[in-house]
Structure 1
Amino acid sequence: MTKYIAIIILSLFISCTSQKENSDKRIIPVAEVIGTGEILNLSNCAKSVRYIPLETNDTTLIAGISSIYKLGEMFLVQDYRRGATSQCFLYDKHGKYIRQIGKKGPGPDEYTLIRSVDVRPNTNTIFMDVNTKCMEYDTNGNMTKHIRMPECPDKMTIWESVQINDSIYLSTLTSSLHRHYKALLFNMEGKTTMLYPNHLGRIKNERGWGSSDGKYYRFKDQIRLWRSWDDTIFTINKKLEPEVTYIFDMGPYKAPMEWMESYRTDYDRTNYVFPYAIKESSKYLFLNFQCGQNAPEKYEYEITSTSPGMQQKRTLVNVDVFGLFNKSTGKLTLLNQPVKHKYLGFRNDLDGGPCFWPIYISPDEEMVTWFSADKFLEIYETLPNPSPELKALAEKLIPDDNPVLMIVQLK
């Protein structure tokens, strides 16, 4: 009898412990779901889709889009052109060109390089980190504020900058020599008011994996800090302190720091898993994982690197796996490819159009991605039953037109 009572007590203890662990919705259970996956329909989390072809004219020929932001009914598009400085253009809700924001040049109100762009919710303020300074613009294109850049800690450089409020700004930091700090706060005069130390204390690295440094993203009016080699997403809270928000449970798939900092390119041949990109809505985290040998649907693809006077093709192996984390249930679902060995993301069952994955989520819960005109037309030709809207759009496009935005409204 004593033996049976002990077994019952032990079972109850394990059950209670498990419930306690599962109730912590901050934990993203990556290790639990490696090796699983399913095709998810866009209708699982969204209710409508629309397309906005960006107006094409001689002054705004957009080769690619670095970032997109929504300001009321307008869209701010950061263009990237190979061999040239990126620029920012404003479009209305129909894709009609409104104006350029800021101006290239060496003058005090001009820029030669845009390092990062930010738009705070419910404001008409456009914030640019232009490498030597930060500037703010209104939607009429007027430069309204200069902000001095702060001095960096020894042997560190700024990766990108973002607004916290009207007078406080944050810059993420990178270094190839040490990992003392991840970010700093500064004011309009360029004075550093706070340094955020790394919680991983590696301090003597001969080389650093730069693409993992300086990561942040905005969720509505909150700023999240994270890095690919961390296991934690922090939020800058009202006291301007980093607060633990989500934790990746990588289990045996967690990459060691030495590997993450070694400039390795053999992602497809390792057993490691790490997050590479994050977007967030009120209900979900949209996660892009590099899964190495654990990617169930690896495939080869070609990219063309264009340099002045030369083009170079490279063959890469796709080991990306997308994941949808439900913030209210704590469930992580890995997505199988809706078109195997070709497209990732959600299967578009709303209008039968392109597969979808967000590159931006607006404060009013609209998800946005984009397609070059030639890519959109290529995808359109493969659609078995395109909607009348898609057909009308495809008939107006030519391959050299500016990109098409795909806007998906979340439920």
Structure 2
Amino acid sequence: MRKILYILVCAMFSFSSCKRNVNIREIAVSDSLFQVIVIDPDDINRKEPFKISTIVEKIEYVPLQTADTVLMGKMNKLIVWNDQFYIWDQLTEAIFCFNSKGQFLHKIHKQGKGPDEYPRIYDFTMDMTTGDIYIYSDMSKTIYAYTEKGEFIRKMESPFILSSFGIQGNYTYYYLGRTPNADFYSETFPEQCRYVVMENDEFKHEQLKYIFDDKYLQIPSSRNVFSFYKDTMLLVEYLKPEIYSIDSIGRLRSKYRIEFLTNTYSPSFNEEIDLERMESEKKNGNLTTLFNAFFETDDYLFFNYARGIIGSAYVNKKDRTIHNMGYFLMDDFNQNSLPSVIDFVDENYMYKSVEPAFLIRRQLKGNFSPYLDGMVENMREFDNPVIIKIKLK
């Protein structure tokens, strides 16, 4: 695979706050250095899939326990904390918790109208310092806080409609994304901001100013906007893929920008959106977008991209090289095709997930290792998903 140089480019970006009254503290981000990741989605090995052993020491498959009371329908988001798997199941509106061996521990399933219940789950996150779980319901515009064991703590009403959120200590980070918040920004609308910070339920500051347009509502958005890097959080924007780190008081700092060489149109919040052109370039394969979260470790950066199908790439921070893994990955330890979507990354592991039905079908066609072959023999098609725990080099 040909390596593309990891380029550092000075990008002059400044952001000012949306001031609505004299009590709101204004904040601006100083001009800073974006590290620009330039990648060509066409630069892949078309003869054989990327071998995961290139960056991986070993792979473990962890079947999640299945029972009548422990049955998931659609795994929508995974967070790994304290070597435990926390999974949002969209079908049952629940957060499941499994240990590192896949054994079921407990779940939060409190859908209802009670004081400690939520109408439905729109997004969830965790405070990685405490393990507390936070669920946002768009129906009530409220965040519900629970301990990592599922005990109710409190609820916090949100003054606006949000796309995603993150929690760290006393700070709550809201990403409003493409949604109109005319009530919250009544004095300035359609001018509003995409990023708002609250401290102990009090407004702190805001960044990423833009002019809202109804066209934004027709552009798909992700709820995996925030990711974790040690004791720091990252925010990723999808319309124009830019990644920010969040400092100790919630301010955004410019960090990375991804540029796809196949793109002939690069939409952003800083200019008018041409939906017809976006659709045309997408059909012609000339519009590649970021997909899912952006992950960082001390040694690597990982991300998915979408160009009709989902591909993946990584940056080796040690030698500053970019590697396009492409659309097909091979677990050459076990002779199994891996899904390209990355669900979660921590300092030592990358996590993916796969349905048992896929492994069962692959077993009939392939030549699995004895380890994986024996595991699949005991699976049923509609069992809970299998977590693939990938040890990074």
| TM-score of the alignment, normalized to the shorter chain, above 0.5 | yes
Mean Cα deviation higher: 230-239 or 214-223: 214-223
How far is the alpha carbon of 1:217 from its aligned partner? Answer: 2.4
Task: Please tell me the residue identity of whatever aligns with 2:165.
Answer: S
C-alpha displacement at 1:378, in angstroms? Answer: 1.3
* Aligned equivalents of 1:284, 1:404: Cα separation in 2: 24
Verify: 1:211 aligned to 2:216, yes or no. Answer: no
**What 5-or-longer segments of structure 1 have no aligned partner?**
1-17, 292-317, 338-343
Given that 1:250 and 1:273 are in contact with CA atoms closer than 8 Å, whether structure 2 keeps it comes out as yes
Distance in structure 2 (CA, Å) of the matches to 1:114 and 1:408: 29
Residue 369 of structure 2 aligns with an amino acid whose one-letter code is S
The equivalent position to 2:250 in structure 1, one of 203, 216, 240, is: 240
Distance 2:289 2:126 in 1: 28
Select which of 128, 145, 162 maps to 1:136: 145
Tell me the SS of whatever aligns to 2:243: strand
**Does the CA-based 8 Å contact 1:47-1:350 persist in structure 2?**
no
CA contact (8 A) 1:37 1:333 kept: no
Task: State the distance in 2 between where 1:206 and 1:19 align.
Answer: 33
2:199 pairs with 1:184? no
Read off the aligned partner of 1:173 and give its amino acid letter: L
- 2: CA distance between counterparts of 1:395 and 1:268? 41
Counterpart pick for 2:325 among 295, 311, 335 = 335
User: What TM-score, normalized by structure 2, do the two folds share?
Assistant: 0.78
Q: How many equivalent pairs are there?
A: 345
1:41–1:25 Cα change, 3 Å: farther
TM-score, scaled to structure 1: 0.75
Distance 2:155 2:8 in 1: 49
Which of these residues, 172, 184, 188, is aligned with residue 169 of structure 1? 172
Give distance in 2, aligned partners of 1:89 and 1:270: 38
Gaps of 5+ in 2: 1-5, 11-32, 181-189
Compared with structure 1, are the counterparts of its residues 260 and 123 closer, same or farther at alpha carbon in structure 2 (3 Å cutoff)? farther
Alpha-carbon distance change, 271 to 123 in structure 1, aligned in 2, over 3 angstroms: same
Conserved in 1, the CA contact under 8 Å of 2:34 and 2:254? Answer: no
1:47 pairs, out of 57, 62, 71, with: 57
SS at match of 1:230: coil
Cα deviations by residue, 1:41-85 (Å, 9 ceiling, x for unpaired): 21111111111111111122212201112222321121121xxx5
Counterparts of 2:83 and 2:305 in 1: how far apart (Å)?
32
> Counting helix residues as a fraction of each chain, which structure ranks higher?
1
Whose strand proportion is higher, 1 or 2?
2
How do 1:12-411 residues align onto structure 2 when only pairs under 5 Å count? 26-30=35-39, 33-38=40-45, 39-81=49-91, 85-131=92-138, 132=140, 133-149=142-158, 151-152=159-160, 157-165=161-169, 167-175=170-178, 178=190, 180-189=192-201, 191-198=202-209, 201-212=210-221, 216-220=225-229, 221-250=231-260, 253-257=264-268, 258-259=272-273, 265=279, 267-282=282-297, 283-291=299-307, 318-337=308-327, 344=328, 346-357=329-340, 359-384=342-367, 386-411=368-393
Secondary structure of the 1:76 match is: strand
Tell me how large the CA RMSD over aligned residues is.
2.9
Identity of aligned residues (%): 17
Distance 2:386 2:108 in 1: 20
Q: What letter matches 2:284 in structure 1? A: R
